[in-house]
Structure 1
Amino acid sequence: MSLTMLPPSRVGVPATPAPRDRFVDILRVFGMVLVVVQHWTMPVLVYADGRLTTGNALAGVPLITWISQVMPLVFFAGGAANAISWRSAARKGQAPGLWLARRLRRLAWPVLPLAFVWLPLPYVLTALGAPAQPVAVAARTVGQLLWFLAVYLLAVVATPYLTRLPTGRVLPALAAGAVVVDVVRFSGLEQAGYLNVLFVWLAVHQVGFLYAEGRLEWLAGRRALALAVAGFGMVTGLVAVGPYPASMIGMPGAVSNMAPPSACMLALFAGQLGLAMLLRPALDRFGRRPWTDTLLTVLAPRMMTLYLWHMTALITVAGIALLGFGVESPEVGSLSWWTRMPLWLAALTVVLLALVGLFGRMEEPPGTASARMVVVGTLMVGAALTALMITGFAVGVVPPLATCVLIAGLLLLSRTGARRSGGPDPHGRGVTGPARAGQA
């Protein structure tokens, strides 16, 4: 069953969705939490002679990543949320520039506290006697998380324009582009693979538009199960034939399905989407429980803070364990590894909750958005996030320069005058409220 075999597109007929979709909320929150847990359980750390070496605990069990690699579902849920939010803004007469400015401010603003902490931190730690190499590894690792924001920025910018196009044509074109890029990549031109950052993630994001339009209602029960079987079956075939590796996350020294993303991720997404839609009725009922609703209400607006700071929690706990007490990672799968894991996760959770409590309040940007200079501001924010993704917050001139560019870009998106730019809500409420489905 193909995702491109869909009912004809109802271009120009915006949906009128409910103000909140619990299914999308659950996918977003569950996806980010699973990303955090996966990152926390992967590292195998060994410290000797002032140098830190890292391994991956999932290297021996790649099939787990077919479920734990949920970035496709995160982009799908993001596509649904962006489509709902944009259509709501368009019905109110809001200009695309103002909508983009508000979305990008919410996306990039939480990076500033992270930058303000991590720009001086390598210098401080080194001055206090911490070994330079582990500090550099930590500073680069924190910055690598920003790949998601840089790519998601492209998806947000594309939303007002892609929602006007017939998804029945756009989606096959994006999927075909991903396949062509893989052919070129695996023919020897490896750098061409990075074009799939656009093709793969925009394709997944585009399927979220279909959900927002109510055009995935047919995907339930046996049809959803059939899609799940077909998707995971296709992944199995691609891995068996090659050159795609079995792991859906990057492994040291191996071809990666994630960096850059390969067309295999589209097959994985089909399988995961089938499972998600199969479970949708149960997840909807689960989301209506009072305690679940409360949990989603608390967590959903803090997902970006949770994501940005979870590696800082890992570095804090691992640094104390390794450098302070000399406790290294036990052999993966051993009794010691399993018995330590609950304590490890508990310690990381405590530190992360403290960081979220401290910095979560900064996730909502102050002031009002403006459509003035939105193109220049978007380019500056995108360039800054990309630079920080590449260099991290390691010692050097690029991280502080990129942070200054990020601040300048946000200022260009934050000038006063939102009322004159056509926005019906000059105080930044409505679509810039809590990060829920249709609002995030």
Structure 2
Amino acid sequence: MQPTHAHSPSRGRDSFIDIIRALCVLAVISQHWLMPVLAYDNGQLSTGNALASPGWWIVTWLTQVMPMVFFAGGAANFFSFRSVTSVRDWLRSRIARLLVPVVPLAAVWLLLPHVLIAGGVPQQPVLMAGKIAGQLLWFLAVYVLVVAVTPVMYALYRRYGWRVIGVLAVCALVVDVLRFEVSPAIGFLNALFVWLAAHQFGFHYADGSLNMRSRWASSGLAVVGFGLTAAAVFFGPYPSSMIGMPGAPVSNMSPPTALMVSLTIGQLGLWLTLKPVLTRLAARPGVAAVLRWCGARFMTLYLWHMPALVVTAGIFVVGLGLATPTPGSPMWFAVIPVWVSVAGASLVCLTKIFGRFETRRGSGESSDTSLGRVVLAAVLSAGGLLGLAAQGFISPGNSLGPVLSVLLVVAGLLIVRARSTVREAGPVREAAMPKSAGARRSRTVPVQVAVRREGARALAAKTAANGLTP
């Protein structure tokens, strides 16, 4: 299927995808900052979830934006992958850009909890903070694997088109049946089936096949998607909330259920309905500047927004002993602006400190690393990230666990960042060939080396310009 002119690389970045990314990250940050219900007493921090309030589950149908994050990732990966000349170098660049921002996060959080406990801070809230700081790395673990299989999914898309999403949806449903009837652990297979389906929708947006003729068509798509979701909740075994709730026997997100596929359809229809408004908004100079700034720091914003929440909770809840007001009460709405302002200021400071790791570009040099080793790097780093998501950066009784998880991530990063060891051709002795041929050879070798270098730099620049991170 050929790309449409509207999405040709020559037309530059897709502002609709850029603004989806920005708004999705904003939604993730806002939800995580507003959800906690905290109280501190006698060295113990108790937690609750504001979205567990009666009737608030409906909010999660819009604020659970991971389906759109993977959708936007699919579109961005499509834009950049379809014109690459080296699958290996594309994967290296993509995976490295995802993993580099994790290194400073790990360096801080492997040490900080021990420093705080040694300084007299009660252990329980510190352990909770260390777990929260690593919890959201589940997304990065899954996304690294999705990126690793993008070449395969692109080939399947080229051959089978929309049928790929259909097969993935059926697989997700089968996994759900086995999850509810046989073993809950089987449900973790849907971490790939569900998010690959959302990612694949991005391919179809990027090739133009999701262009709706009218707002009525996109609105109809939203009604179908949300309608299927509502029916599955009402008649099936699925909970009404699209995020995990404390004490709930089943979660739609951990692991994801097939319900996330229908939610993807509903949210996609809604976003496509709003597309004309959003693209006009993205065209404003001020908004465009914000999108460019955020676009270069998406991973930093995502990784450090929970530590910013930890700082805020440490000041207000642990330090001052203030408990969260009842969610939805007048006092809660009065406190929220102060809470968000402090968390926002903390995140800005953390982004200024650590954002440089993400905005600094690699050399763009080629590598001797084989494609198989790049895939191995993705698997190793994903395993390390999942370990950190499961146990956090400090684990009582298993102090080596977080360290080993970080080492797996670093090992994966070192593999994909390995530079080429191929030596440039030395000067050609004229005695080895006729003078005229020697002259041609001596001119040709440096030119070929320069072309290879320039091609690698261009590939790295193009990948970064079209890159996507959540």
Q: Give TM-score scaled by structure 1 length.
A: 0.92
**Which range is displaced more, 377-386 or 364-373?**
364-373
Superposition pairs for residues 35-74 of structure 1, below 5 Å?
A: 35-60=28-53, 61-74=56-69
Deviation at 1:376, TM superposition (A): 2.9
Partner secondary structure for residue 20 of structure 1: coil
Indicate conservation of the 8 Å contact 1:219/1:277, yes or no.
no
Residue in structure 2 matched with residue 4 of structure 1 by the alignment: none
Q: Verify: 1:21 aligned to 2:52, yes or no.
A: no
Partner secondary structure for residue 280 of structure 2: helix
Residue in structure 1 matched with residue 130 of structure 2 by the alignment: 139
Output the amino acid matched with 1:159: T
Partner secondary structure for residue 155 of structure 2: coil
Deviation at 1:336, TM superposition (A): 1.0
Partner secondary structure for residue 171 of structure 1: helix
Residue in structure 1 matched with residue 410 of structure 2 by the alignment: 407
Residue in structure 1 matched with residue 110 of structure 2 by the alignment: 119
Q: Tell me, in whole angstroms, the C-alpha distance in 1 between the residues paired with 2:271 and 2:375.
A: 36
Partner secondary structure for residue 186 of structure 1: helix
Q: Tell me, in whole angstroms, the C-alpha distance in 1 between the residues paired with 2:357 and 2:26.
A: 20
Deviations 1:386-432 (A, max 9, x none): 22121210141011222222222211111222999978224773234
Output the amino acid matched with 1:383: G
Q: Pick from 460, 465, 469 the counterpart of residue 429 of structure 1.
A: 460
Deviation at 1:210, TM superposition (A): 0.5
Residue in structure 1 matched with residue 270 of structure 2 by the alignment: 275
Deviation at 1:243, TM superposition (A): 1.0
Residue in structure 2 matched with residue 103 of structure 1 by the alignment: 94
Partner secondary structure for residue 54 of structure 1: strand
Superposition pairs for residues 109-188 of structure 1, below 5 Å?
A: 109-165=100-156, 166-188=160-182
More helix by share: 2
Indicate conservation of the 8 Å contact 1:321/1:327, yes or no.
yes
Partner secondary structure for residue 52 of structure 1: strand
Indicate conservation of the 8 Å contact 1:98/1:418, yes or no.
no
Q: Pick from 216, 219, 224 the counterpart of residue 218 of structure 2.
A: 224
Indicate conservation of the 8 Å contact 1:301/1:435, yes or no.
no
Q: Pick from 237, 242, 253 the counterpart of residue 236 of structure 2.
A: 242
Deviation at 1:272, TM superposition (A): 0.6
Deviation at 1:265, TM superposition (A): 1.0
Superposition pairs for residues 299-318 of structure 1, below 5 Å?
A: 299-318=294-313
Moved over 6 A (4+): 418-423
Deviation at 1:31, TM superposition (A): 0.3
Q: Verify: 1:291 aligned to 2:294, yes or no.
A: no
Percent of residue pairs bearing the same amino acid type: 45
Residue in structure 1 matched with residue 432 of structure 2 by the alignment: none
Indicate conservation of the 8 Å contact 1:196/1:260, yes or no.
yes
Residue in structure 2 matched with residue 417 of structure 1 by the alignment: 420
Q: Tell me, in whole angstroms, the C-alpha distance in 1 between the residues paired with 2:214 and 2:288.
A: 23
Alpha-carbon spacing, 1:135–1:87, altered in 2? closer, same or farther (3 Å): same
Q: Which runs of 5+ in 1 are unaligned?
A: 1-8
Output the amino acid matched with 1:134: P
Q: Pick from 362, 366, 371 the counterpart of residue 357 of structure 2.
A: 362
Deviation at 1:355, TM superposition (A): 0.4
Output the amino acid matched with 1:33: L
Deviation at 1:219, TM superposition (A): 5.8
Q: Verify: 1:85 aligned to 2:80, yes or no.
A: yes
Q: Tell me, in whole angstroms, the C-alpha distance in 1 between the residues paired with 2:259 and 2:375.
A: 33
Q: Tell me, in whole angstroms, the C-alpha distance in 2 between the residues paired with 1:366 and 1:284.
A: 31
Q: Tell me, in whole angstroms, the C-alpha distance in 1 between the residues paired with 2:28 and 2:338.
A: 19
Deviation at 1:365, TM superposition (A): 5.2
Superposition pairs for residues 372-391 of structure 1, below 5 Å?
A: 372=369, 373-391=373-391
Output the amino acid matched with 2:57: P
Deviation at 1:236, TM superposition (A): 1.3
Q: Tell me, in whole angstroms, the C-alpha distance in 1 between the residues paired with 2:388 and 2:361.
A: 20
Output the amino acid matched with 2:24: G
Deviation at 1:366, TM superposition (A): 4.0
Q: Tell me, in whole angstroms, the C-alpha distance in 2 between the residues paired with 1:427 and 1:85.
A: 12
Deviations 1:72-118 (A, max 9, x none): 011100000011111122xxx2x211110110000011000000100
Partner secondary structure for residue 126 of structure 1: helix
Q: Pick from 207, 210, 214 the counterpart of residue 208 of structure 2.
A: 214
Superposition pairs for residues 335-350 of structure 1, below 5 Å?
A: 335-350=330-345
Q: Tell me, in whole angstroms, the C-alpha distance in 2 between the residues paired with 1:32 and 1:52.
A: 27
Indicate conservation of the 8 Å contact 2:80/2:467, yes or no.
no
**Which range is displaced more, 424-433 or 407-416?**
424-433
Q: Tell me, in whole angstroms, the C-alpha distance in 2 between the residues paired with 1:67 and 1:419.
A: 51
Q: Tell me, in whole angstroms, the C-alpha distance in 2 between the residues paired with 1:120 and 1:409.
A: 21
Deviations 1:102-142 (A, max 9, x none): 10000011000000100001100000111111111110111
Indicate conservation of the 8 Å contact 1:301/1:434, yes or no.
no
Q: Which runs of 5+ in 2 are unaligned?
A: 424-448
Output the amino acid matched with 1:45: L
Alpha-carbon spacing, 1:164–1:418, altered in 2? closer, same or farther (3 Å): farther
Deviation at 1:435, TM superposition (A): 6.0
Residue in structure 2 matched with residue 352 of structure 1 by the alignment: 347
Partner secondary structure for residue 413 of structure 1: helix
Q: Give TM-score scaled by structure 2 length.
A: 0.86
Indicate conservation of the 8 Å contact 2:368/2:419, yes or no.
no
Q: Tell me, in whole angstroms, the C-alpha distance in 2 between the residues paired with 1:432 and 1:87.
A: 11
Q: Tell me, in whole angstroms, the C-alpha distance in 2 between the residues paired with 1:392 and 1:435.
A: 31
Indicate conservation of the 8 Å contact 2:368/2:422, yes or no.
no
**Which range is displaced more, 167-176 or 401-410?**
401-410
